[in-house]
Chains A and B, each alone.
Chain A
């Protein structure tokens, strides 16, 4: 469906509105009246967290609310957070799954620090999330699940609904299960089955509270349960019942309007998109723009599998997806396809990269284009499969035997994964090299509005395969030399099988410059090692842009990858408070932009926030001999804007 949003007249732009600041989210705003005897208040932004058991459908509920919100025209950012277990023991703290959504009438950068509204489907969800919910926030609890046994399971000796632990919150006690079962009594469903639709009841209630459009959700349910029309209708009925409950019950006296973020968006057509979806689309776009068939060799791994799933849906684009027997075979098959002239990709997460290391080294030696997509997660080892982290940077940079440089591109937001995939493909194809695309769990599953690009404006990635001899001997004989390089890019020719006269052999043994024949000559090896490094060092990447509006900042905050949102939100806060802070964000981590050294030296102090123990900072210090200070967090969760603002403030004070 498509909705149209136009700039409201007489309203001031809200782009400068506080982001992540403790605005009076629910108490403030313009009061207005609307609906039958119900007050409607206008808000600038809201953060909602849906939390329940991992079997309660919280991710689906969050996704639907997000879609409704996107189509309404708010800016938004999401943070799904779920356990690695498919069904952790019901009702336990480890089994809690949540979905946080921040939406606003202005541009926002993060899923928000603290929820204004918590929907807690059971005692475990309340307990696991309450600490992050500030007093004054609204809490909707499903009282049906607050049985003595369920409360004891998570260590509540007394009911938190009665013992005063929710004092200061605005609590709505709603028997969600009972109401859902009641609403579905016309269906031939048992209590347990009917109760499963309680997430849709909750979604309906929240949709009423925030005036969300509902048609798309009903349409979604009809499509999702097309083969079980009864189930579809039951869910739709529960969804509508939730809406009606909000409208009629006195418990919910107020509903809220968050106006479309019309001024936050440039004119254009938008959709909501997650990082993994954007990345998959970017790969398909790169295939189309390079006129090369896409080949994905992959082994399922969280949080990268969705890229495999998505690409597997698009075989009509000539996309070949190969679910290999292991991580090594995934990249091996991709490398084989690259030798054959495909745009070859392997997708994985940190543990998979470890297994692929030797093949990445081979790709460095063969000098074939290959994209290695690493959706980083918490490590080491199995670590935190469903949580985010940025701790694979040094693995991507150095995790191979020998001198094996690989360019690294890191997207900064979910939607940026699309452009970053195209960029990674450009570098791989231009320089005939493996390229790392370093996304992470936060970008992969988080989502935001995306201005859909015009296909005609996508970059041209066409490549020329070698067609014939490229070398003439002194006696005039023409021959093909697989390692004779383009003098500008240092790329070698891409000579695919099937081209007459270009028969040649390549391999992981050191090759003689030019001919590619096996060579153990010391000088040749020295030359080839330096040449491979020079090729990667010479990859053309744009200069890093510095945002320093006042021009007199002494502090530079430099990040890379998915920390863009929280860093930017924190910097905005400080600037609103009158501080001068410069900000720069790296999308290209290897090679660094040519102006980076100069940028770093321009500032008295450089702070580098990372979701690792200081990997980029280490690279910067080694490369530029600057005293870059780390600010680190490895909690499996993105930074909060407030936390970063405090850290930067500290740096300013002690600068």
Chain B
């Protein structure tokens, strides 16, 4: 449990703090197989969770960390069975509390790579408080939020991300509630890294996992995940090739934000521009407005304003114009590092704790025999 270095000041060649610098590297090249536990996977056949599990197991060797220094912590729900299938350390905890439990682990063990696996009910309903505070503190956690917009394990009630009017077992006349947009919520909670990806797009999912792992501090990755039993096709608009062209706004740092069928320059015919009247972002035809007006995506922008505005482009009912990719990735002090630095500073100031001196205090009297 070496815990003396201060990675917040350790700079990489890219001029940013290095994530996971205290986590030991694997001694030999790893394979995906090594990350599969011996437990039978028990999700429903066809569940989107399989794809995410495969992507994560496939990505882990790429991360190259010592397997014993990786921990997956989950709450309750279908996705929260995830740790059982990873041949790492893992804890399947209680409903909503994974971010809190993982916070204690990460804050006390900076030599670990700690991943939280959660769902839309687990993270945004019963555990909403822990999620926002973990993001606010910027604890070194990578939070994978499997969003299927439904309660699966309890057999099909609406969730905090279900669209208004959703007909479910508990809302036979339709849900009365407006859904959370997890990306907007995370940005409002001061998250330093927020991304969105889709279960079926393994390449994109893997690239987002890598970006999250590279990020020092909290990373929230929303993964749209299909529940083929209780909410099948919820993300079809983003997966079907024809519809997706219009529905998905792919974000790449440093690239103009364009989507839709290709224009003459080969990029999407539609672009995101700032409305000079309101300051908000809106979608326009690039042909009409010119390419110069199109916003260039800056995930590292100190201000979260554009990331938030991008997150609001999506229609909460249909998911039309949903941004996919890393919306925000900025550096700010990491809680675990800051906590360790305070411990070091206390030793520098007062010396290493002396129990006898502490117990003795300053105000004593002596009784002689």
Contacts and interface: CB of A to CB of B under 8 A. Distances in A.
Q: Counting chain B CB atoms within 10 Å of each CB, which of A216, A272, A505 scores highest?
A: A505
Interface in B304-361: 339, 342-343, 345-347, 349-353, 355-356, 358-361
Nearest to B95: A358
Given A4-B368, A266-B367, A334-B104, A505 B83 contact: yes
B100 interface: yes
B297 interface: no
Contact of A340 (B112, B360, B364): B112
A518 B343 CA distance: 39
Nearest to A4: B366
Contacts of A506: 90-92
A517 B130 CA distance: 27
A316 B63 CA distance: 34
A509 B80 CA distance: 12
A296 to B, nearest CB: 10
A641 B223 CA distance: 65
A267 B1 CA distance: 42
B367 A333 contact: no
B369 interface: yes
B66 interface: yes
A400 B277 CA distance: 58
B12 interface: no
Contacts of A67: 363
A3 to B, nearest CB: 5
Contacts of A6: 367-368
Interface residues of B, number: 63
B108 interface: yes
Contact of B367 (A71, A268, A341, A359): A268
A252 interface: no
B363 A341 contact: no
Contact of A316 (B67, B105, B346, B369): B346
Interface in B84-130: 84, 86-94, 97, 100-109, 111-112, 129-130
Interface residues of A, number: 78
A284 B363 CA distance: 20
A288 B363 contact: no
Nearest to B87: A503
B220 interface: no
Contact of A329 (B129, B351, B353): B129
A314 interface: yes
Interface string B122-165: 00000001100100000000000000000000000000000000
Interface in A315-350: 315-320, 322, 324-326, 328-329, 332-342, 344
B37 interface: yes
Given A266-B367, A316-B350, A507-B84, A271 B90 contact: no
A161 to B, nearest CB: 37
Interface in A52-111: 67, 70-73
A120 interface: no
A498 B68 contact: yes
Contacts, number: 236
A337 B104 CA distance: 5
Interface in A229-284: 262, 265-272, 281, 284
Contacts of B112: 340, 497-498
A222 to B, nearest CB: 13
Contact of B130 (A329, A335, A500, A502): A329
B89 A314 contact: no
A293 interface: yes
A22 interface: no
Contacts of A574: none
A269 B133 contact: no
A469 interface: no
B109 A341 contact: yes
Q: Counting chain B CB atoms within 10 Å of each CB, which of A318, A319, A326, A340 scores highest?
A: A340
Given A336-B100, A500-B68, A518-B84, A317 B365 contact: no
25 contacts: A1-B362, A1-B364, A5-B366, A71-B365, A269-B360, A281-B359, A293-B108, A295-B104, A316-B343, A322-B339, A324-B100, A325-B100, A325-B133, A332-B104, A340-B104, A340-B105, A340-B109, A358-B94, A497-B109, A498-B66, A505-B86, A506-B91, A507-B84, A507-B91, A508-B92
Interface of A: 1-7, 67, 70-73, 216, 262, 265-272, 281, 284-285, 288, 293, 295, 297, 314-320, 322, 324-326, 328-329, 332-342, 344, 358-359, 361-362, 366, 452-455, 497-509, 517-518
